[in-house]
Structure 1
Amino acid sequence: MIHKKPRKYIPADFEIRWENLEPLFVELRDRQISSVDDLEQWLRDRSEVEAALEEDFAWRYIRMTCDTANEDLLQAFQYFATEIEPKIAPCNNELNEKLVGSAYIDQLDHDKYFIYLRGVRKALELFREENIPLQTEIQVEQQKYQSITGSMSVHIGDKEYTLEQASVFLKDVDRAKRQQAWETITARRLQDKDQLDQLFDKLRELRHKVALNANFENFRDYMFQALGRFDYTPQDCYAFHEAIEKEIVPILRDKAHERQQALNLPSLKPWDLDVDVSGKPALKPFNNGDDLIEKSIQCFSNISRYLGERLEIMKDNQLFDVESRKGKAPGGYNYPLAETGAPFIFMNSANTFRDLTTMVHEGGHAVHTFLTADLELNDFKHCPAEVAELASMSMELISMDNWEVYFDNAEDLKRAKRDQLFDVLKTLPWVAVVDQFQHWIYTNPDHTDAQRTDAWVQIYERFGAGFADWSEHRDSLQNLWQKQLHIFEVPFYYIEYGMAQLGAIAVWKNYKENPETGLQQYLDALKLGYTKSIREIYETAGIKFDFSADYVKELADFVKAEMDKI
């Protein structure tokens, strides 16, 4: 069993309520600092408070997403969002001011604290008192997306399914069954289209106000600063989109043509994109959630004993909730528990191949959580998404050489690897679409729902629109963006998947050439947390932080060649 790290500043039985927290923030604010050693102790004490708050919030979020219909869990989450976070925000700003104003700040180790202090100064620059109630309202509104989508279910035949469970039918070799399932799922999503449009309109309006209050023209420019994007600009993102359009879309267009011919169809429809072209039933790498966890422990153990032990620790401490059920929020995540030093993995398994890759993806995040658990300050563990997703997407590829744990049949194993490598390439255009759509949304803050729909369709079609014929299903095409949780809950967190996907291919390339060295470089990079720049972390992993057209082409050619070998 694992336990929270012993506290040195706050009591072990400390209850997270504002009346208990306020004296701590007052003490930190008023404490006399007479040396650089005092300042470092102050940083450690502040970090301990932040870790306790983060873990408390984590469990509120985890429990709420595991059961979105439970009103008590929702209220517990909203208490933190409305009664604690708004009061903490100005206190944190005061503590940041105390830190940067300290006479001893220049005596701190520059290499150790540079990234951290850079983030503190940026937070001070962006802080506005008038944004606190807006950010609280945004937090509460965002949660509504989980409640709306978590309640979605459909009946196929005489049985009720969550949408994740129903999506299994999209792999059925019987085209009529695929079509029926797709139309049933789509019709259910469209029932809540207006409600989700209204929710997003409100979120867009609130976010724009936050940006204006912070003296930005739009929320896009504000978020580039708030996310700490010190290493690239919006223009770099547009160039990355163009590189994907030029180098990746043609490969996928050819693959779609091959699919159409293999299925002997006049055109591909949206329900033809997931079925195996061999005519064989969908891959079934495990039987249920427990089997998925056990096989994943074995898979990770075969790569490295250390990796397998991390998942075993999570299993022993009940830090998984993997099976889909009604009332559970959609999607999947790895949530770090700041004090415990371990994570919680949440996902919606429906016993499909995609669930296998979700598990190894979140397992990569989990390993990252363990590797950074002992970093001195809590903030050192707050990796930017470009690094966090490198951890997870690399693990998807590194783990492939041990997927025989999931597949007894050699041909099924080959199918799984081909599907995974195809998905690696397929990820990139979708990332470009979602990212470019968000650029458009927030740089056109006064747009109407109709204009937003038109913008979505134009962007999606530019990147191939999934290479399916949507002519008879325009309403479904127009509504696809509502499936993407990130657009509602974590705006602008998406381009990082594309950057990290390139990095992951490069990590995998190194691993294939020298497994021991490649794995060690990957782990060494993750151990850094966020104590170095993104570029330095990528270099530690033995790869480049690069998303130029030439690099996209080089790595796409490598993936294509590996697909051809299988």
Structure 2
Amino acid sequence: MKFDEFPYKRLNINELKSKVDEIIGVFNSNSSFESQDQSLNQMNDLLAEYESYESIAGLNFNRDTTSEKYKAEKDYYDNLSPEFKDLKNQFNRAIMSSKCLPELKSKYGKHYFNIKATEQKTFDSKIINLLKKETELENEYTSIIAGAEIDFKGKTYNLSGLGPFHKSQDRAIRKESFKARYSFFDKNAEQLDDLYDRMVKLRHKIANQLGFENFIELGYYRLGRTDYGPEGVANFRKQIVEYIVPLVQKLNKQKQEILELDHLYYYDGIQYKEGDPKPKENPDKMVDAAKKMYNDLSKETGEFFEMMVDENLLDLVNRDGKMGGGFCTAFPKYERPYIFSNFNGTAHDVTVLTHEAGHAFQCYSSRKQPLVEYLWPTLEACEIHSMSMEFFTWPWMDLFFKEEVERFKYMHIVDSLSFLPYGACVDHFQHWVYENPEATPKKRKNKWLKLEKIYLPDRDYDDLDFPKSGGFWQGQLHIYQMPFYYIDYTLAQTCAFQFWIKSQNNMKTAWEDYYRLCKVGGSMPFTGLIDIAKLKSPFKDGTLKTVSEYVFNWLDSINPKEL
């Protein structure tokens, strides 16, 4: 069955309520383990159906944000979501007070019940309308960004469409393309400021009504972080400042020499004077190359990717009206994932294909987990699968980059290492924002600039006024729509580097550890999954130092001018 043939419908809240009431009624009236287990599975099936239809509605809108039909379906499920959360919460209360809890934990593992306990902390029926409002504000950001129409060199582009110009070997074109990009943000600056201000204050209000001092603790619970908190994250950020920032400064100095520039500005984002490596094939041939790559990598990845292509579970190329960025979603009822991206002719096309395929392969590998909650792990663990897949596919990068393959690999490691301080900066900024919900937009921008000096001390915007005045972060979707998610990429990158190191030494063992991690899905918290994969925790003092030293020594052994 192809994606367009997946059955879809609007679920009715009254019918859902009737079903959940019936499930809870049977659950509470029958105290036997067998009966309660059956009720749990009925609720699980309902959840799989709901999440599948909600995912289809959201995906169709992202594929065409100009469609009134798709917008109506997404709006319907956005409005239904808090109501369904209320029903889930009612079932959570029943299951957490069950006399059969020990037997249920024995069958499914304690993590599911930790998830249920956490979900209870994040929801109360009194905040339903506030949650609906939060979704409205998040959709407003989507509309602003997806609606970008930027005139550049006689043509009109969306934000993704400007990407190739940002990577031009011509410095003047790079600079002008960023000026065009930030002219869009400048025109929408007041709207973006006001939107974020309303979001922050609304989230603070939601947190207060749930009994939290501010949104931070609630934000962590929303992300299912059951085994670490802000203190551990703050210590991790501190290690990034101590170990990674100096290494990135060395890399920036080296890049300045490679590019033969007197000074490095933000728009000098290329790695090589002749321009960065680009895929040598068109999108269709890239998919063919990916088929060969995944068939060679393992039997499981080969079957997986053939299925993705055959069932039209890929939407890869940038086009007008399509939401920017890349992501993977899933339809639990149909046991299928979906990859969404915006190819624009840059090396990012390849890394986003391998990255999102890592997510999709994990989801497909764990499709037989007994519970929907175990299909995906928490987000920082999800990013291990995606970022590690970028490295596991290295032996086949010549299929995409031909003679520039070694240049690509060097650039890939440089970019991955250089990302860590930015990811930490985004996280530090969000903690400050939600600790200070009454701060003005101007104060937020000033704080961002102060944090840039700590995490990104070499960054110089020249005369790009919008980012120079502290607005750079407003182009980061996660800050608006997924608070506290972004540090997950840095935690996962630290783990992905470990898989890369393993694969350099023993590809077979590294892949076995990776595939084992994929199959267990979300049946454990982050720290448990790290143990399963035989990785060292990023939170442990010394892990980041050891990993970064290996990575930097690898970079140091290569003369990029000779690539």
Q: TM-score range by the shorter chain?
A: over 0.9
Question: In 1, distance between residues paired with 2:261 and 2:82?
Answer: 56
SS in 2 for 1:339: helix
Aligned partners of 1:70 and 1:216: how far apart in 2? 39
Bigger drift between 547-556 and 434-443 goes to 547-556
Q: Deviations over 1:509-553 (max 9, x none)?
A: 222221111101111112111222322211111212233452111
Asked if residue 123 in structure 1 is aligned to residue 119 in structure 2, the reply is yes
Query: Please, which of 502, 513, 519 is the counterpart of residue 505 of structure 2?
Result: 513
Cα 1:204/1:372, change in 2 over 3 Å = same
The answer to whether the Cα contact below 8 Å between 2:121 and 2:221 also exists between their aligned partners in 1 is no
Residue of 157, 172, 177 corresponding to 2:173: 177
The answer to whether the 8 Å contact 2:377/2:525 transfers is no
Partner of 1:40: 37
Counterpart code for 2:411: D
Decide which of 57, 62, 66 is 1:60's aligned counterpart: 57
Q: Is the 8 A contact 2:452 2:459 kept in 1?
A: no
Could you say which residue in structure 2 is the equivalent of 1:9?
none
CA contact (8 A) 1:47 1:378 kept: yes
2:215 maps to a residue whose letter is F
Q: CA RMSD in A?
A: 2.0
Q: TM-score, normalised by structure 2?
A: 0.94
Alignment partner for residue 356 of structure 2, among 362, 374, 378? 362
Q: CA deviation at 1:434?
A: 0.6
User: In the alignment, is the contact (CA less than 8 A) between 1:69 and 1:147 conserved in 2?
Assistant: no
* Separation in structure 1 between the aligned mates of residue 30 and residue 398 of structure 2, nearest angstrom: 58
Could you tell me how far apart the structure 2 residues matched to 1:318 and 1:153 are? 29
Q: Distance in 2 between matches of 1:272 and 1:176?
A: 10
Whether the 8 Å contact between 2:244 and 2:420 is mirrored in structure 1 is yes
Partner residue of 1:305 out of 299, 306, 309 = 299
Cα deviation, 1:472-518, whole Å, max 9, x if unaligned, reads 33432311101111011111111111111111111222222211111
- Greater shift, 179-188 or 518-527, is seen at 179-188
Aligned partner of 2:327: which letter?
A: Y
When residues 398 and 152 of structure 1 are mapped into structure 2, their CA distance, relative to the original with a 3 A threshold, is: same
Aligned-partner residue type, residue 213 of structure 1: Q
Using the alignment, how far apart are the partners of 1:286 and 1:58 within structure 2? Answer: 33
Match of 1:546 among 530, 538, 541: 538
> Of the candidates 61, 76, 79, which is equivalent to residue 79 of structure 1?
76
Range that drifts further, 94-103 or 333-342:
94-103
Does structure 1 residue 113 correspond to structure 2 residue 105?
Answer: no
Letter matched to residue 127 of structure 1: F
| Cα distance change on mapping 1:372 and 1:2 into 2, 3 Å | farther
Q: 2:335 corresponds to which residue?
A: 341
> What letter matches 2:252 in structure 1?
A
Structure 2 portions without partners, runs of 5+: 559-563
Tell me which moved more, 489-498 or 510-519: 510-519
- The structural deviation recorded for 1:137 is 1.1
Change (3 A) 1:537 1:423: same
Mapping of residues 149-168 of structure 1, within 5 Å: 149-168=145-164
Superposed CA deviations along residues 442-492 of structure 1, whole A, max 9, x for unmatched, are: 000110011001011111121125x23235334323111011110111111
Q: Check if 1:469 corresponds to 2:465.
A: no
Aligned partner of 1:415 among 376, 389, 407 = 407
Task: Rate the CA distance shift 1:37–1:16 in 2: closer, same or farther, 3 A.
Answer: same
Establish whether residue 25 from structure 1 lines up as the match of residue 20 from structure 2.
yes
Q: CA deviation at 1:35?
A: 1.2
Task: Tell me the distance in 2 between the aligned counterparts of 1:500 and 1:241.
Answer: 13
Alignment partner of 1:353 is 2:353 = no
Corresponding letter in the other structure for 1:50? L
Distance 2:11 2:104 in 1: 31
Aligned partners of 1:214 and 1:221: how far apart in 2?
Answer: 11
2:556 is equivalent to residue 564 of structure 1: yes
Q: How many residues matched?
A: 555
> Take 2:224 and 2:401, find their aligned partners in 1: how far apart are those partners?
42
Q: Which runs of 5 or more structure 1 residues have no equivalent in the other structure?
A: 7-11
2:561 equivalent in structure 1: none
* 2:62–2:323 Cα contact (<8 Å) kept: yes
Aligned to 1:207: 203
Choose which of 252, 255, 260 in structure 1 pairs with 2:256. Answer: 260
SS of 1:270's equivalent?
A: coil
CA distance in 1, matches of 2:367, 2:187: 43
Q: Percent identity?
A: 27
**Matched residue type, 2:11:** I
CA contact (8 A) 1:267 1:469 kept: no
**Cα drift, residue 382 of structure 1:** 3.5
Residue in structure 2 matched with residue 432 of structure 1 by the alignment: 424
Structure 1 residue 286, shift from structure 2 partner: 4.2
CA gap 1:542/1:488 in 2 versus in 1, 3 angstroms: same
Q: Is the 8 A contact 1:534 1:545 kept in 2?
A: no
CA drift of 1:3 comes to 8.7
Q: Return closer, same or farther for 1:40/1:14 CA change in 2, 3 Å cut-off.
A: farther
Cα pair 1:297 1:311 within 8 Å, conserved: yes
Q: Render the CA deviation track for 1:49-73: whole Å, top value 9, x for unaligned.
A: 0000001000111011111122221
- Note the alpha carbon deviations across 1:15-34, whole angstroms, 9 max, x for none: 52224323211211211324
Tell me how far apart the structure 2 counterparts of residues 178 and 423 of structure 1 sit (CA, whole Å). 18
Residue number in structure 1 paired with 2:277: 283
Q: What are the equivalent positions in structure 2 for 1:499-510 lying under 5 Å apart?
A: 499-510=491-502
Is 2:283 the counterpart of 1:292?
A: no
Partner Cα distance (1:392, 1:234) in 2: 24
Instruction: Select between 373-382 and 528-537 the one with higher mean Cα deviation.
Output: 528-537
User: Counterpart of 1:527?
Assistant: 519
How many angstroms does 1:2 deviate by? Answer: 6.5
* Paired position in structure 2 for 1:193: 189
Q: What displacement does 1:328 show?
A: 1.2
Equivalent in the alignment of 2:317: 323
Deviations 1:352-404 (A, max 9, x none): 10111111000100101101111111112131012111110111111112211
